[in-house]
Amino acid sequence: MRVSAWVLAILFSGAMARHAVAAPAPGSASFGDLSATFEAVAARVTPSVVQVRVSSIGPLGEGEGYLGLQRQGGSGVIVSPDGDIVTNAHVVAGARRIEVVLAVPAAGSGPGRSLVRPPGKLVPAHLVGVDVETDLAVLRIEERNLPHLEFGDSDGLKAGQIVLAVGSPLGLQNSITMGIVSATGRQLRPEDRMVYVQTDAAINPGNSGGALVDARGKLVGVNTSIFSQSGGNEGIGFAAPSNIVVAVYQQLKTLGFVHRGDIGVVAQTITPTLAGGLGLDRIWGVILSDVRPGGPAAGAGLQPGDVVLEMDGKPMENGRQFDVNLYRRPVGSRVNLHVSRHGAVRTVAVEVGERDDEVGRMAARVSREGNQVPRLGILGITVDEQLSPMLPWLRAAQGVAVAGLTLPPPAAEEGGLQPGDVILAANGRSVATLDELRALVSGLPAGSSLALHVNRRGRLIYVALEIE
């Protein structure tokens, strides 16, 4: 059945009315009005989305065993006028050099202007920090007064809402596609605390790190991945929600790493069967199956079997929702839980502590200035009696632990160093402190080989690097 253009225009303009930059006047809905709305958003958004070019060391050919310079690319979003750019961690993984291409405004808008945009301005970028868990990274360029996107509220997204994806798919800078929000709070793996916005806006290789914006031009997500059997867009794309992006960005910008909040509980979804077995008065919601002794929740008086009704006034419907809402809470903040115990309801204030994760706790003890080993591309910390309990696989309290990675890392075999590694020796010489490691590495001439003996979660391995 054919549907008239007039009816389609009414439907689209109605969907856009809540978000449009300049909503059409009543009775004047047309495809022209709808097009003008998208044009206005595109003109405002595209200067803030950059192409990211990365040079890295990787294998040349198949089965040759040779390493060489490789180039790859993606997208990034300028989020501050002072040069901060958010992108995906996998876009800059293994980078030796990072550059971004800034959009250059077209000269005029008259009828004689060229349809071919001028080439962008290529500028160097350096890595501020990487968060592998959320697949996010922050870059910085030495440019000022830049066009940038403001963060929107991803919690307010609704399925069916119109969004635009902006990036450089297959190297085609400033490409824009339109779609809708297919779903919110989408997990890519069961029990994963990280959730994504699902969209059918076309996302292809090279879009990673680009912007997902709403019809007001607000950044509501950073495009991250697709589900595809062909390798191209099949209408199932995922973006990191802006509320998680902004929390990670702020910590990477100020600290260089991300603290993970935790209150020391296991939250489980209540099912009818579970409710029947425990004699609960509700067949849905959240129950605490475990409260870790000595943790923040235990200190606040919570117990296994408590039913969580609300978190900071928001009803808790399932365990996944509980974890996701807690995920972006900063360490040291407080959450107010409305809980029921044997029918008695009360509000409990719980301070968010550090997640029980050895690498995160190590990272909390380092600084970019005091712990960097530039020639290794790491943040290191001397293993001592206070640090060794965080690394239970150690055989002795000695060596230098890798608390984080910086750029550029040296060319390496077998993937190089990883957070959590403990360096025991370098070129056959034992390493006891961070100062010893720095002195040994700084004395090597460019082009030298460096063989590090490393404890990687209980396994001793060699990591071979080439020093520049």
- pLDDT (average), residues 301-313: 95
Q: Is 448 known to be catalytic?
A: no
CB 454 within 8 A of CB 417: yes
Residue-wise pLDDT for 176-185, tens only, equals: 999 999 999 8
Calculate mean pLDDT across residues 406-412. 63
CB 397 within 8 A of CB 382: no
11 falls in which pLDDT band (50, 70, 90)?
very low
90 noted as active-site residue: yes
- Residues 48, 75, 208, 225: which is the catalytic one? 208
CATH of domain 1-105+119-259: 2.40.10.120
What whole-number distance in Å separates Cα of residue 353 and Cα of residue 340? 23
Tokens (6 digits) for 297: 């929740």
Distance, in Å, from the CA atom of 134 to the CA atom of 461, rounded to the nearest integer, reads 28
What pLDDT does residue 142 have? 94
Tokens 């230098």, residue located: 400
| pLDDT tens-digit series, residues 244-274 | 999 899 988 887 778 778 899 999 989 898 9
Name, of 170-179, 227-236, 413-422, the range with top average pLDDT: 170-179
320 vs 394: which has the higher pLDDT: 394
* From 65-69, 91-95, 187-191, the region with the lowest mean pLDDT: 65-69
More confident residue, 118 or 128: 128
Q: CA dihedral defined by 254, 258, 263, 265, rounded to 10 degrees?
A: 170
Which pLDDT score, from 0 to 100, does residue 12 have?
37
pLDDT at residue 61, as a whole number: 57
What are the b/e assignments for 205-241, b being 16+ CB within 10 Å? bbbbbbbbbbbebbbbbbbbbbeeeeeebeebbbbbb
In the chain, where are the structural domains located?
1-105+119-259, 261-354, 358-466
The fraction of the chain above a pLDDT of 90, given in percent, is 43
Q: What is the pLDDT of residues 333-373, one digit of tens each?
A: 999 999 999 989 999 999 998 776 656 667 667 777 788 89
Region 378-391: what's the mean pLDDT?
Answer: 86
Type of residue found at 256: G
Return the percentage of the chain with pLDDT > 70, whole number. 81
Work out the average pLDDT over 107-113: 56
* Whether pLDDT at 432 is above 80: yes
**64 or 167, which is more confident?**
167
Whether 281 sits among the annotated catalytic residues: the reply is no
Mean residue pLDDT of the chain comes to 83
| Same fold yes or no, 261-354 and 358-466 | yes
The two structure tokens encoding residue 321: 């929702």
The active-site residue out of 19, 48, 75, 90 is: 90
- To the nearest 10°, report the CA torsion of 214, 220, 225, 231: 10
- The yes-or-no verdict on residue 389 having pLDDT over 70 is yes
Residue 28 has pLDDT above 60, yes or no: no
Query: Would you say residue 16 has pLDDT above 50?
Result: no
pLDDT of residue 449: 87
Is 415 exposed, middle or buried (CB count within 10 Å of its CB: 0-12, 13-18, 19+)? exposed
Instruction: Phi first, then psi: give them for residue 74, nearest 5 degrees.
Output: -165, -155
Strand partners, 121: 102
Q: Name the residue type at position 132.
A: V
| Look-up of token digits 């307010």 | 156
> Which of these is catalytic: 33, 84, 135, 262?
135
CATH architecture of 358-466: Roll (2.30)
Predicted TM-score (pTM) of the model is: 0.70
Superfamily of domain 261-354: PDZ domain (2.30.42.10)
410 pLDDT more than 70: no
